[in-house]
């Protein structure tokens, strides 16, 4: 994708429909959410467009060109999710527990036609909402060299501005019971003090969807229920004293605690950023997505899968390698989901393997 001035009028209209913005309380916001979300949309769109161009040079054409590019793009995305994103969220122990570990090379067919891969109510309504705790304030971006006009400038999303580089240079906020003031009090603020409290909205959504209490989900995950506001036997073993005090100030009894409130207040599991309850619910759902998907990228099926050589190339890819191809930065972390430690150098983009499409050359 090119900057706005270098694109046709039709392309500009298409881009505007992708990243529409609106003025809210004198600040411009992307209608679909953060501008940073739009950057990811554009990066993966660029990757797909590059795949189409490269496959076309290898002899692919027509509908098969479109389908193969989509197939490869989906596989790269799945590989990033299952080898980088999910492990960083739920930790290695949960990865092993739910059979989510991918092989370094070759196929790993785990498809079961009897598995229902439907997204569960609890996953969509609560568990995946853990990320609302990670959201920082947009104002930080504005104060660190951005201006309100930035959100009106569509081209900033498709050009290589510092917006993209903040993914690698800034730490996200911790996943815990503490939510930034902006997320609680200023999201979609149409006028002063008229906004959406995202976390209150999440808690109420769980009630609207009929989610059982926090204790019921602990039992569902094989964790013991909590019977009193204390640290002793049958008390809070996965929470700090501060979290226990906060929960007891709002709820009369542990049985009354909403899933979102209880799970977000848990200490994170080893190697992850969520507590044991959400690690369970997230891990279980991603396992269903994997085993219930006939088109999962590791499946060894002749018509829908990849050859060993093709799969080898896909498994060389990472979010860092994709970002390097489409964002003008010289170096990135080895794992884009994990911030490098103090003093740890970034990895030069030239060292990341490119996707070698010679495995897709058409013969005959």
Per the domain annotation, does 2 fall within a domain? Answer: no
| Structure-block tokens of residue 110 | 């785990």
Separation between Cα atoms, residue 263 and residue 166, nearest integer Å: 29
Question: Is 293 inside a domain boundary?
Answer: yes
The counts of H helices and E strands in the chain are 16, 6
Q: Which residues contact 266 (CB under 8 A, 6 or more apart)?
A: 238, 239, 243, 274, 275, 276, 277, 278
Paired with 29 in beta bridges are 22
Q: Please identify which residue in the block is written with the tokens 């290589």.
A: 160
Backbone torsion region of residue 235, taken as left when φ is above 0, otherwise alpha when ψ lies between -120 and 50, otherwise beta: beta
Contacts of 315 (CB under 8 A, 6+ apart): 79, 83, 102, 104, 105
Q: Is 289 part of any domain? A: yes
Tokens of 42: 């554009």
Find the domain containing 331 and state its range: 16-211+258-360
Amino acid 160: pLDDT: 52
**Segments in the chain below pLDDT 50:** 1-32, 139, 141-152, 154, 364
Asked whether residue 34 is assigned to any structural domain, the reply reads: yes
Q: Is the dihedral of CA 284, 306, 106, 352 positive or negative?
A: negative
> Per the domain annotation, does 245 fall within a domain?
no
CATH number at residue 200: 1.10.640.10
For the segment 55-105, what is each residue's pLDDT rounded down to a tens digit? 999 999 999 999 999 999 999 999 999 999 999 999 999 999 999 999 999
Task: Count CB atoms within 10 A of the CB of residue 207.
Answer: 12
Task: Identify the residue whose tokens are 């790269």.
Answer: 76
Environment class of 205 (CB within 10 Å of its CB; exposed 0-12, middle 13-18, buried 19+): middle
Does residue 272 lie in a domain region?
yes
Pairing label, strands 27-30, 21-24? antiparallel
Q: Is residue 3 part of a domain?
A: no
Q: Does 41 show up as a binding residue in the annotation?
A: no
Q: Is residue 247 domain-resident?
A: no
Overall domain count for the chain: 1
Q: What is residue 191's predicted lDDT score, i.e. its pLDDT?
A: 66
Q: Which residues contact 304 (CB under 8 A, 6 or more apart)?
A: 294, 295
């Amino acid at each position: 994708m090119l900057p706005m001035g270098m694109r046709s009028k039709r392309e500009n209209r298409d881009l505007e429909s992708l990243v529409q913005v609106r003025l809210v309380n004198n600040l411009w916001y992307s209608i679909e959410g953060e501008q940073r979300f739009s950057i990811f949309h554009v990066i993966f769109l660029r990757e797909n467009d590059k795949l189409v161009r490269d496959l076309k040079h290898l002899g692919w054409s027509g509908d098969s060109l479109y389908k193969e590019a989509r197939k490869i793009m989906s596989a790269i995305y799945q590989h990033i999710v299952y080898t980088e994103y999910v492990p960083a969220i739920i930790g290695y122990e949960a990865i092993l527990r739910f059979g989510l570990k991918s092989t370094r090379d070759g196929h790993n067919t785990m498809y079961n036609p009897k598995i229902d891969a439907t997204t569960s109510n609890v996953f969509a309504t609560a568990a995946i909402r853990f990320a609302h705790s990670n959201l920082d304030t947009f104002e930080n971006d504005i104060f660190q060299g951005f201006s309100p006009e930035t959100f009106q400038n569509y081209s900033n999303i498709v050009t290589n501005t510092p917006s993209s580089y903040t993914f690698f240079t800034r730490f996200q906020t911790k996943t815990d019971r503490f939510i930034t003031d902006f997320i609680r009090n200023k999201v979609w603020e149409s006028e002063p003090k008229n906004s959406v409290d995202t976390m209150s909205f999440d808690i109420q959504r769980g009630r609207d969807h009929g989610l059982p209490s926090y204790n019921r989900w602990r039992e569902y995950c094989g964790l013991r229920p909590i019977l009193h506001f204390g640290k002793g036997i049958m008390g809070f073993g996965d929470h700090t004293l501060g979290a226990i005090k906060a929960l007891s100030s709002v709820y009369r009894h542990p049985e009354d605690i909403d899933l979102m409130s209880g799970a977000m207040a848990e200490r994170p599991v080893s190697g992850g950023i969520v507590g044991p309850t959400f690690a369970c619910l997230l891990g279980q759902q991603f396992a269903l997505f994997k085993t219930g998907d006939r088109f999962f990228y590791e499946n060894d099926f002749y018509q829908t899968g990849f050859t060993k050589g093709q799969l080898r190339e896909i498994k060389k890819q990472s979010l860092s390698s994709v970002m390097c191809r489409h964002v003008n930065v010289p170096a990135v972390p080895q794992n884009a989901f994990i911030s490098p430690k103090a003093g740890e150098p970034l990895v030069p983009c030239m060292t990341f393997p490119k996707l070698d499409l010679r495995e897709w050359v058409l013969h005959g």
